[in-house]
Amino acid sequence: MNISSEILFVSSYPPRECGIATYTQDLMQAIEKKFAQSFSMKVCALDNKPQEREYGSEVKYVLNTSSHSDYRDVADKINRDKNIKAVFVQHEFGLFTGEYGENALYFLYTINKPIITAFHTVLPEPDNKRMNVVRAIVAVSDSVVVMTENSKKILEKEYMVPSEKISVIHHGTHLVGCPERNIIKQRFNLKGKNVLSTFGLLSSGKGIETAIEALPAIIERFPNTIYMVIGRTHPEVVKHEGEKYRKYLETKAHELGVQEHVKFINRYLSLDDLLEYLQLTDIYLFTSKDPNQAVSGTFSYAMGCSCPVVSTPIPHAKEMLGGNAGVLIDFSSPKQLADAAIALLADPKKRREMSLNALHKIRPTSWQNSAVAHAELFRKITGMKEALKYSIPEISLSHIKRLTTESGIIQFSNICRPDLDSGYTLDDNARALIALIKHYEMTREPADVSLIDIYLNFIKFAQQKNGSFLNYVDRFGKYHEKNNYVNLEDSMGRAVWALGEFLSMSHLLHGYFTTRAEGIIKRSLNVIREFESPRAIAFAIKGLSGYNKKNKNPHIKKIIVELADKLTSAYHKASDINWKWFEESLTYANSVIPEALLCAYSETGNELYKRVAKSSFDFLLSLIFIDEEIKVISNRGWHKRGDVKRHFGEQPIDVAYTISSLDLFYEVFGEEEYQNKIEIAFSWFHGNNHLHQIVYNPATGGCHDGLEERNVNLNQGAESTVCYLMSRIVVEKYRLYEKEIIIRELAYEPIAIELRKAG
């Protein structure tokens, strides 16, 4: 599918004020941001008064839902539009005229392109007319999307829709950074307040009076409580009754004596402002009175901002708030709401647990993940043959800076908050040094230098008098007891790798840095020669090769040969025609071993190193690249010779190491397949994996700690975050190269045109 191929969204659309309009805009923006090279999206706006609104350039057609003839006329125009490859209808009964919105059928029956219909409401126990309308829409649609498992069950059991025709794609939610609730409260002059909130376009069905009636009991226990009602009155409500409902709520607050504790924010809020209000909220209240409301974007957004939610039991709430992710109360029950709010306000620990549970439950529904799910559906429905092209976020060091103290980079995080109790490791600080010197090489960003200094100092601190290194340091800067019983060879190898990489680029910095790094690596040489672990040997070879790029020291070259010979010896001992590897098992950081041999080849010219490197690396690639995806060796069980390869338990570090190795193999061998695999492997971070979920978080700049069978590990530790940055820098190199080619082609183009004219 080329860039001129379009997906046409048929929906209400801003500036029309409507929940589905906002939803459609958010979804389109998410898909465009993630798959701009695969899809172009346009809108057919549904509007009962189109003359009253001016739409943006993305709106290609406007369907006047009040005009019976427009349904067929607009459909005919769409049919003649060769760029449109599929039509994606956002269905709500009130958006279309006719009983139960049946006029939508005139439009759908006329369309001769693939149709996907998203049902925003699926009502149980339909009468015959509703049943017939819905089944007719389903019949003409190639695929149907709903937003909850409950809606899918209703379609299957009550509307008799085949299961295979239905996709469940949850309402999208916005990722937020790493907010400090109290800091945001201070900015809004709410320091010391307990904040309850509700947002959305106001109407009587929202049940806001239930929350106001609960306030006297809450305030009696917690006088510093404020309740924010965020949002304007729904435009359709204003047309019919003005601000009657808002005035009713204001009067009720006065009658109950809580008017000073209720704050109406009666204006349109930008998305950033709205998310800030949610991030300062201690408890989100959802009080809808409609038991058949299929889905709520409002409490989904609240959960995405880590708000504990107290909600009436609409189907969406029942589905999302289980597992202590929120509290369900009966409809129109002020007492239950008050009891739930008081219990949560009285127990900050329980509130924090509920916030984390809510975040884990809702994070798979981020707009980025929704974009991936929709893109996969578009690809299927349109018969698109080529792979999806994932857009790449800009490089961000925000989470790396968040994790870094004066001592080093902290090992773990709880979601995005650094866990200082986890301390520091040589492993992480070594990798961070590599990532930052490469980032500095690319950007010359002055702020990088202070980070480089911190990580280099940590490596120096970790070195012992005999030249060896310790790995574990506690939060107070003391060596941890784990150093006494954990094998530290691999960590030492990583330190040498980092020092060598750094020294290969040390010309970028003051000589003071070079002197320190060179002193550390020289003291380690005798220790390196005793390495037995294949990975420690491999890391050391990579480091020594980097160090010797400028040095050309025969003593260093001799050590590289000694170490490389250990690897080739291990290979010849363990390998056979079906198992081209160095050990009886594939474990972690596998690709660094063949990569190290390729480094040794570049240093020595020994063809044996090159042959073993290629043979073993291609063997590894044959096991981990499957159907245009990378599936690295699972940390749930290593892959032993002769066993069936296990799945899941995939870690960013192994994907990152593979990308680094592919980069070198492409540089040496020039085979396009290696470059293609870099793109495939990197897309793993952005949703090209078995869960179709992002592993890199663009809102925090952190990378999640792993991909399990059914979930992403949401913690964003140093290892994962630094490894993502290392991969991102590799990919940036290829992006810059492609831009250079394009610029060259553009530079020659006018000359070519002139030559054609002259001919």
CB atoms within 10 A of CB 187: 11
Q: Write out 299-324 in H/E/C secondary structure.
A: HHHHHHCCCCEEECCCHHHHHHCCCC
pLDDT tier for residue 139 given thresholds of 50, 70 and 90: very high
CATH architecture of 181-365: 3-Layer(aba) Sandwich (3.40)
d(CA 238, CA 250) in angstroms, rounded, equals 16
Confidence of residue 747 (pLDDT cuts 50, 70, 90): low
Euclidean distance between CA atoms 626 and 485, whole angstroms: 38
pLDDT in tens, 683-701: 999 999 999 999 999 999 9
CA 135 from chain centre, in angstroms, equals 36
Beta-carbon contacts of 480 under 8 Å, excluding residues fewer than 6 positions away, are: 423, 472, 473, 474
Smallest Cα–Cα separation from 118: which of 47, 28, 14?
A: 28
Gyration radius (Cα) of the chain, Å: 30
pLDDT of residue 744: 52
Task: Express each pLDDT in 420-458 by its tens digit.
Answer: 999 999 999 999 999 999 999 999 999 999 999 999 999
Render pLDDT for 362-388 as a digit per residue (tens, 0 to 9): 999 999 999 999 999 999 999 998 899
**What proportion of the chain, given as a percentage, has pLDDT over 70?**
96
CA-to-CA distance for 697 and 684, rounded, in angstroms? 13
Of the pLDDT bands very low, low, confident and very high (cuts 50, 70, 90), residue 294 is: confident
Q: Are 294 and 151 in contact (CB under 8 A)?
A: yes
Mean of the pLDDT values across residues 80-107? Answer: 95
CATH 3.40.50.2000, the chain: domain bounds: 6-168, 181-365
Q: Which residues contact 311 (CB under 8 A, 6 or more apart)?
A: 285, 286, 287, 288, 299, 317, 321, 326, 327, 328, 329
Domain 396-528 is in which class?
mainly alpha
Q: Region 530-551: what's the mean pLDDT?
A: 96
Domain limits, CATH 1.50.10.20, in the chain: 396-528
Q: Binning pLDDT at 50, 70 and 90, where does residue 758 land?
A: very low
CA–CA distance, 566 with 571 (Å, rounded to integer) = 9
Helices (DSSP H) in 280-366: which residue ranges?
Answer: 297-304, 315-320, 334-345, 348-362
**Averaged pLDDT, 475-498:** 97
**Closest C-alpha to 480, from 416, 424, 520:** 424
Half-sphere exposure for 710 (CA within 13 Å, toward CB): 2
- For residue 28 the two structure tokens come to 């389109």
Q: What's the pLDDT band for 418 if we cut at 50, 70, 90?
A: very high
pLDDT at 562 over 90: yes
Is the confidence at residue 545, as pLDDT, over 90? yes
Q: Please say whether the structural domain 6-168 has been given the CATH code 3.40.50.2000.
A: yes
Which carries the bigger pLDDT value, residue 612 or residue 299?
612
DSSP letter at 101 equals: G
Nearby residues of 12 by Cβ (< 8 Å), 6 or more positions away:
18, 20, 21, 24, 45, 46, 47, 90, 95
pLDDT of 737 = 64
| Selected residue with higher pLDDT from 157 and 2 | 157
At 757, the pLDDT band (50, 70, 90 cuts) reads: very low
Mean pLDDT, the chain, as a whole number? 94
The model's pTM? 0.93
For 537, counting Cβ atoms within 10 Å of its Cβ (0-12 exposed, 13-18 middle, 19+ buried), the class is buried
Dihedral (Cα; 87, 90, 92, 94), 10-degree rounding: -70
Q: What dihedral do alpha carbons 395, 399, 400, 405 form, nearest 10°?
A: 150
